[in-house]
Amino acid sequence: MNKYTVINPHEPFRVLNTHVHNIDGIAKVTGRATYTFDVKLPGMLYGKILRSPHPHAKIVNIDFSKAMEIPGVIGVVTGKDTLGVKQGIWRRYNDLCDEQVLPIEKVRYIGEPVAAVAAVTEEIAEKALDYIEVEYEELPATFEPLDAIKKDAPEIHEGFERNINVTRHIEWGEVEEAFEEADYIREDWFKCGGQHHMCMETRAAVASYTPEGKLTVWTSTQSAYYHQALLAGVLGLKEGNVRVLAPYVGGGFGGKFELDAAQFCASVLSMKLYKPVKIIFTREEDFIASKRRTPMFYYTRTGVKKDGTFCAREAKVFTNGGAYTGMGATALYLTGFFHSFPYRWKGYRYDGYRVYTNTLPSTSMRGFGAPQAMWCSEQQIEWIAADLGLDPIEMRRKNSHHEGYIVPGQATIASCGIDQCYDEIRKWIDGKGKLPANRAIGLSACGFMSGGIFNWFDSPYSFSSAVVTVNNDGTVELHVGAQDIGQGSNTTMAIICAEALGVKVEDVKVHSGDTDHCPADLGAWGSRQTLMTGNATKMAAESAKKQLLEFAYAGAGLNIVYDLDIKDGWVHAIARPERGEPFVDLVKRATRGKDGQRIVGRGYYTPHRKGMISPAYSYMLQGVEVEVDEETGKIKLIDSMTAHDCGQPINHLGLIGQLEGAFSMAAGYGYLEYMPFEDGKMMNPNLVDYKMIKATEMPPANIAEIDTYEPEGPYGAKEAGEGLTNPTAAAIGNAIFHRFGIQMKECPVRPEMIVNALKEKAEADKGKK
């Protein structure tokens, strides 16, 4: 069903890149894994949130006296019960902290929270919502960025002229001169849709505030540390008095590291009532009032020489930011940067504008602006190749990044396997022979970052930290702040720790998702954990190992030029591996030698001098075979192949899972996951009408793993979790182009768009005759 090939494999490791089961696997396949959704505390109340039915309105008055009369209702909170702190994840920039999760003065999108109820059961809380009377004064609203920047558009946030929230500019080279060198210039407008994270576990929190002045919050999060800090900020507590616990997390995909209403309202209610409060979003609430992938309008102009050499590119982008900033400002920068990927441009200019509208706020989602960038870039490049009669693979290849390439002022590429990706995809295409008439193959190349170097959150801590503690029996405790949201980071860290220390994975216990006991870490976003937490873990394990080996050297009586090592729990001289002792014996001796102190290794990672974006970049080329029905416009994915360079793979099963899973989400973005809005209201906020890939629609996701060595990554590793979300939509678009010669400029591509485009083409062809 799926083919997995490894090109240039490295030396065998003991643990790394072997078939290691996910360390949380047994809990997950036996129903033992408990999520925030399952948390139940003694005396716990259930909370429900009242939401705005208006896209833009002043809150004149809220009267909840009738709700309080309902038996079982314990408390109600509104914005007036809060400190009114405007918060945001871009804490370094005051202007961009623009969201009161329970607003005091006005609401800015349909579904925005206005009040929250706590009651003894969920049903009573739900019923109480009907008895809260909110008087609104409706305001004119605006929903699309190109309308919201007009002179007469309503003002959504005070002081943000024409509703422009953030602008970003990226430029290198002499752009106009580079365009003058071009023989052919093509310009296109594109529209990129939003997409919902659709985590299987909706937004969820249980908050418990006690008279000691301490708050404990169980929540479904991608970064326990972010939520600790954000909650402390809005609630007026010290960070140290807020404990965030992330039990098993039912998916994140970029949507769970901003402060959400479940976390905030549960905390405010609990602080008012001194009782634990649980809030779980319904699926509909999750759709209309969490966040979404940022919809974008893209203008892109590209100049190339006759022989296909890329000269210059200019892009202007408007994003529909929705009501608040959130992580959208980062998506605005990253889309502009990755729109240049994975190619060398003599001149490149990007102007991005994030515009406030009265819609669901948009933010980061797996790929973080890059899927939109690639939808536009990779299709336009395919069209340019067709316009010039050039081979699209060879045209891409001659312009691609390579090891040692410097993206001017932005990044240094230390490892890059894209050239071999072209070979592998070429082989895959050639192996198929002639395709049936209703099928075509589309390609798309891209790259992605391995964690961001930016610190807009203004964290005073290292980006990642790890602590390795060796118990007297040879078992190991690994404490990390990295968040496992299903991507398998706990397993990845256990593997790195086991490899570095020379023990078995089963002997490593990973502690994560608890701010009281784990070091701060920025968490699971931007494909950062394998590289950043991985480096911290490796450093901590190596430190512990060094301390242990000091005792081994002291006892071994070897000439000092001999090296000792630990592999598979066996401490030995590298030159004479049979001479040695079990790991556990060394640990016992070392612990005694340290007067009973446990051996502790510490590690951390903070990027320095790594350009503007990231320490390392993954590369990939994907081919998708698509069948399209001419009559109905219905799309069916037949097969796919991805040639992928993530440096040294660490977690073999996890890597395959990431690549296959990203494919299904990315394909959904290409042709299924449409989020229509009418007057600010999402029209399909349920799983019947919001279409995603199902088991019957998923094609084989074959993989050719091009192993490179990334000097900045642990054991040469770089990102693998997110980048694969980037190419697929464009690859599907390109397949449609090769099937019919029509150019799809809006994603997701719906059947009626294909049917209409074919009609237009038929008419145009008739006109030509």
Per-residue contact string for residues 691-730; x = within reach of another protein by CB under 8 A: -xxxxx-x-xx-----------------------------
Output 22 or 530, the one with its CB closest to another protein: 22
- The helix/strand/coil state of 157 is coil
**Residue spans of beta strands (DSSP E) within 501-616:** 508-511, 564-567, 570-573, 576-582, 599-605
Q: Minimum distance from CB of 686 to another protein (Å)?
A: 5
Nearer to another protein, 361 or 661 (CB): 661
Could you say whether residue 33 binds another protein (CB under 8 A)? Answer: yes
201 binds another protein (CB under 8 A): yes
Q: Minimum distance from CB of 575 to another protein (Å)?
A: 38
Angle formed at CA 526 by CA 525 and CA 529, multiple of 5 degrees: 65
Angstrom distance (rounded) from CA 385 to CA 308: 7
Query: What gap in Å lies between CA 98 and CA 650, rounded to an integer?
Result: 40
Query: Smaller CB distance to another protein: residue 204 or 744?
Result: 204
Interaction between residue 353 and another protein (CB under 8 A): yes
Min dist CB 622 to another protein, Å, is: 14
DSSP 25: H
From CA 68, how far away is CA 74, in angstroms rounded? 7
Amino acid at 572: H
Select from 9, 27, 306, 563 the one that contacts another protein (CB under 8 A).
27
Min dist CB 724 to another protein, Å, is 10
Member of 480, 485, 635, 732 binding another protein (CB under 8 A)? 485
Strand partners, 470: 476, 599
> Angle formed by the axes of helices 370-388 and 328-338, to 10°?
20
Q: Which is nearer to another protein, 202 or 465 (CB)?
A: 202
Residue in 556, 653, 755, 758 binding another protein, rule: CB under 8 A: 653
The answer to whether the CB of 393 falls within 8 A of the CB of 443 is yes
Calpha distance 762→629 (Å, rounded): 16
Cα 344 to Cα 622: distance, rounded to the nearest angstrom: 19
327 vs 662, which CB is nearer to another protein?
A: 662
Which span (394-402, 495-503, 609-617, 657-665) binds another protein, by CB under 8 A?
Answer: 657-665
514 - beta bridge partners? 245
Is position 321 an interface residue for another protein (rule: CB under 8 A)?
A: no
| Residue 478 CB, nearest approach to another protein (Å) | 20
DSSP 3-state of 275: coil
State which H helix or E strand residue 279 sits in: strand 277-280
- The piece of 200-208, 411-419, 432-440, 737-745 that touches another protein (CB under 8 A) is 200-208
x/- site string to another protein, residues 140 to 179, per CB under 8 A? Answer: ---------x-----------xx-x--xxx-x--xxxx--
Of 80-88, 126-134, 310-318, 473-481, which segment contacts another protein by CB under 8 A? 310-318
Does 592 bind another protein (CB under 8 A)? Our answer is no
Pick between residue 27 and residue 83 the one whose CB is nearest to another protein.
27
Q: Which of 193, 321, 442, 488 binds another protein (CB under 8 A)?
A: 488
Site for another protein in 660-689 (CB under 8 A): 660-665, 686-688
Which residue in 6, 13, 35, 419 binds another protein (CB under 8 A)? Answer: 35
What is the DSSP pairing of strand 45-51 with strand 113-119?
A: antiparallel
Q: What is d(CA 305, CA 301) in angstroms, rounded to the nearest whole number?
A: 14
Residue 556 burial class via C-beta count within 10 angstroms: exposed 0-12, middle 13-18, buried 19 and up: middle
Cβ–Cβ under 8 Å, residues 378 and 181: no
Binds another protein (CB under 8 A): choice among 17, 100, 195, 202: 202
* Nearest distance in Å: CB 701, another protein: 6
Coil/strand/helix, residue 539? helix
Structure tokens at 91: 């804490």
Please count the residues of the chain: 769
Q: How many positions of this chain bind another protein (CB under 8 A)?
A: 82
Sites for another protein among residues 83-112 (CB under 8 A):
95
Judged by beta carbon, residue 250 or residue 369, the one nearer another protein is 250
Q: Which is nearer to another protein, 26 or 762 (CB)?
A: 26
H-helix or E-strand spanning residue 531 = helix 529-556
Question: From the CB of 301, what's the least distance to another protein, in Å?
Answer: 6
Q: What is the DSSP string of 392-430?
A: HHHHHHHHB--TT-EETTTEE-----HHHHHHHHHHHHH
| Cβ contact 641:623 at 8 Å | yes
Interaction of residue 301 with another protein, rule CB under 8 A: yes
Cβ-based nearer residue to another protein, 129 or 199: 199
**In terms of CB distance, is 144 or 284 closer to another protein?**
284
Q: How far apart are CA 511 and CA 489, in angstroms?
A: 11
Q: What is the dihedral of CA 716, 719, 723, 724, to 10 degrees?
A: 80
Q: Report the residue from 16, 17, 22, 358 that binds another protein according to the rule CB under 8 A.
A: 22
Collapsing DSSP to helix, strand or coil, 535 comes out as helix
**Is 314 among the residues that bind another protein (CB under 8 A)?**
yes
Instruction: Considering only residues 36 through 55, tell me which ones interact with another protein, judged by CB under 8 A.
Output: 37-38
* DSSP letter (8 states) at residue 647: B
Which of 3, 8, 21, 711 touches another protein by CB under 8 A?
A: 21
CB of 405 to another protein, least distance (A): 21
